[in-house]
A and B are shown apart, each in its own frame.
Chain A
Amino acid sequence: MPSALATIGIPENLQGVISRLDATLVPHDAREQFLARSFELRSGREKAGRFWKIDIDALDYSALNVATSVPVKLHVPENARAVVCDMQTALRTHRPIVERAAGSAVQPATSKFAALATALRNGGVFVYVPADAAVGGEIEITYEAVSGAIFPYTLVVLEAGAQCTVIERVTGSEDAFVCGITEIVTADNATVTYAVDQQLPADGRVLFTRAAKPGKDSRVNWAVSELGGQLSVTTVDVTVENSGVTADVAGIFFPRDEQHVDLISNIAHDVGNSFSETLVKSAATGRGQARYLGNIRIVQHAQGTEANLRDDALLLSKKAHIDSVPALEIAANDVKAYHGATVGAIDEEQIFYMTSRGIDRESAEKMIALGFFEPAIARFPSEALRQRLRTALEEKVRS
């Protein structure tokens, strides 16, 4: 007799693996519910069409070999006043903090991929910065999808006045599959920068739900770079429920060949006197496809909000395509909101200017394209990371 799960089209391999996954991360019955939920929910993403070829609601998971744990490397600056450990350890040593924070920014029952990531959670990392502690340098988390699909959960909790910078690297081998959640929760007056450097191999797939809920007068900086994989589907959210919050979102992506990137950022200003700045720079070449939807919502009573959104897309080949949509929904009247979006090829006047100085056309295009990303690269922490991004972009421009 087919189980209830099989009847809604859940591949057997996903259903079957649950009993082998760590019940302390997520109990088995909850996993089954989240798995069913994930297959009931729709992603809310655009369907496949003339340019975009992948149906995100009908991804094929049947060949996935789900790992029973997540290979992860951690680097913590010396003398950092912070707890940085794997999620299983955190559940033993800091369970009340994990339970208090988890679920405050991401509601897995309402999001297709967050539900999937919860159902199959097989590891993750906990970062905790106590009150008034400032971690100098960067905490580095490297997720490695090298032996099976990984479903990591990263929880970053900052107490009042705490500060830290986290760099998450997503790496993997052939056929890598990563479906994860990042959740950032802060008390008042905290500052957190969370950077993502996703450089999976060309056939990798990555689905990420990332969300932050900052406390009063706190600052959250997201800097997300999606340069690898054949498919990258990411949501970056900041829920502003406390006044004095500053939210900064920077995004970089660059599909080439047959790569598909789908990025959505959501900034919800639910209170006034809060600030946000979104900057997304993207390019596409070959048959690269990308979609960006930048949502800014300012509710009626969120007076005194300032929100800026800028997204620029550069098309470097005739078959590349980028849909770039800034969507501002503003119900308050005393706000400053700005958005600007551009999509186009490199300006011929820029090319002429550079070639008139002896620089050949190809080098000129390369310099202009790399320069185009610089304002967004500047938002990423650490010169080493910025240099890594430049190198990856240079490689993409060249081919």
Chain B
Amino acid sequence: MSDRGLRISGLRVNVAGNSILKGIDLEVEPGSVHALMGPNGSGKSTLAFSLTGHPNYEIESGSVTLDGQDVLQMAADKRAKAGLFLSFQYPAAIPGVKVANFLFAARQAVRPGTLTPTQFRALLMEKMELLDMDPGFLGRYLNDGFSGGEKKRLEMLQLAVLAPKYAILDETDSGLDVDALRAVGESVNALRNSEEGKDTGFLIITHYPRILQHITADVVHVMMDGRIVKQGDASLALRIEREGYDTIREEIGQLA
């Protein structure tokens, strides 16, 4: 089972001709939590979209494998079926498509035939209670007129319902109040403690360390200008909280 894990090596990506990722190496093992931190514009979201197959991101070189499968050759839906999930920073609104129908279609696509509609409904209710969501949510149109916090909760609900092998959370914590942040943390931890999600590996993208008070990171990576410039344990996040990114930037500068 040595090929298990989400393995990114030498990944270079450009967007509209601009080189954004300049060689990323990163490996998320099953069941582990990796935090990817870095200032705005360092390329964190580009990595998230490149991994999940957004058509605007052009892969120049490098490879990504998910438990040995070549991810970069797959269309976005195939990547999701292989077990990859992205919690969007700005999820699209889709008027006319009800949350409940969307969630069921997604669950059926990713884990076909595993739940009857009744069992699915029970699962939804349980997960929604955990996220402090009103059941009325299910009848609303997907992200249509949702507040920022509601969108993030719905992303977390999808994470819980789809129980992917590898989950990328792209700034799920930004713009959330303390309660919503706690709900996100609890949701991730509940998945990690569940049968379906005990092996889920996480890549948590953030530029504030506060979400890491709720979810303990095994490894913290710091990204700047399209490269991973530093790695460490959870204490690295605390250092960033204290000092910001400037001292790390200076360190890198001295090394270069």
Whether the pair A357, B96 counts as a contact (CB closer than 8 A) is: no
**Beyond A352-B76, A355-B80, A356-B76, is A375–B96 a contact (Cβ under 8 Å)?**
yes
**Nearest CB in chain A to that of B96: its residue:** A371
Whether the pair B97, A367 counts as a contact (CB closer than 8 A) is: yes
Whether the pair B92, A349 counts as a contact (CB closer than 8 A) is: yes
The reply on A368 being an interface residue by CB < 8 A is yes
A247 to chain B, nearest CB (A): 24
The reply on B95 being an interface residue by CB < 8 A is yes
The reply on A354 being an interface residue by CB < 8 A is yes
Whether the pair B55, A358 counts as a contact (CB closer than 8 A) is: no
**A353 contacts across to B, CB distance below 8 A:** 88, 91-92, 94
**Beyond A358-B77, A358-B110, is A363–B105 a contact (Cβ under 8 Å)?**
yes
**Roughly how many angstroms separate A355 CA and B88 CA in the complex, as a whole number?**
13
**Nearest CB in chain B to that of A357: its residue:** B106
**Roughly how many angstroms separate A358 CA and B101 CA in the complex, as a whole number?**
14
**Nearest CB in chain A to that of B105: its residue:** A359
Whether the pair A358, B94 counts as a contact (CB closer than 8 A) is: no
A204 to chain B, nearest CB (A): 28
The reply on B109 being an interface residue by CB < 8 A is yes
Provide the main secondary structure of the chain A interface.
helix
**Beyond A352-B92, A367-B97, A371-B96, is A357–B141 a contact (Cβ under 8 Å)?**
no
**Beyond A355-B80, A357-B106, is A347–B92 a contact (Cβ under 8 Å)?**
yes
The reply on A350 being an interface residue by CB < 8 A is yes
**B86 contacts across to A, CB distance below 8 A:** 356
B47 to chain A, nearest CB (A): 15
The reply on A360 being an interface residue by CB < 8 A is yes
**Roughly how many angstroms separate A192 CA and B118 CA in the complex, as a whole number?**
39
**B96 contacts across to A, CB distance below 8 A:** 368, 370-375
Over the window 99-123 of chain B, the binary record of Cβ atoms lying under 8 Å from chain A Cβ atoms (1 yes, 0 no) is 0011001100110000000000000
**Roughly how many angstroms separate A372 CA and B105 CA in the complex, as a whole number?**
17
A350 to chain B, nearest CB (A): 5
Whether the pair B92, A350 counts as a contact (CB closer than 8 A) is: yes
The reply on B52 being an interface residue by CB < 8 A is yes
Whether the pair B106, A359 counts as a contact (CB closer than 8 A) is: yes
The reply on A395 being an interface residue by CB < 8 A is no
**Cross-chain contact of A352 among B54, B102, B162 (Cβ < 8 A):** B54
**A350 contacts across to B, CB distance below 8 A:** 92-94
The reply on B158 being an interface residue by CB < 8 A is yes
B209 to chain A, nearest CB (A): 27
Q: Which residues of chain A have a CB within 8 Å of any CB of chain B?
A: 347-350, 352-361, 363-364, 367-368, 370-375
User: Which 9 pairs show the lowest CB-CB distances between chains A and B?
Assistant: A371-B96, A374-B96, A358-B109, A358-B80, A357-B106, A371-B97, A358-B110, A355-B76, A353-B92
Q: Which residues of chain B have a CB within 8 Å of any CB of chain A?
A: 52-55, 75-77, 79-81, 85-86, 88, 91-97, 101-102, 105-106, 109-110, 141-142, 158, 162
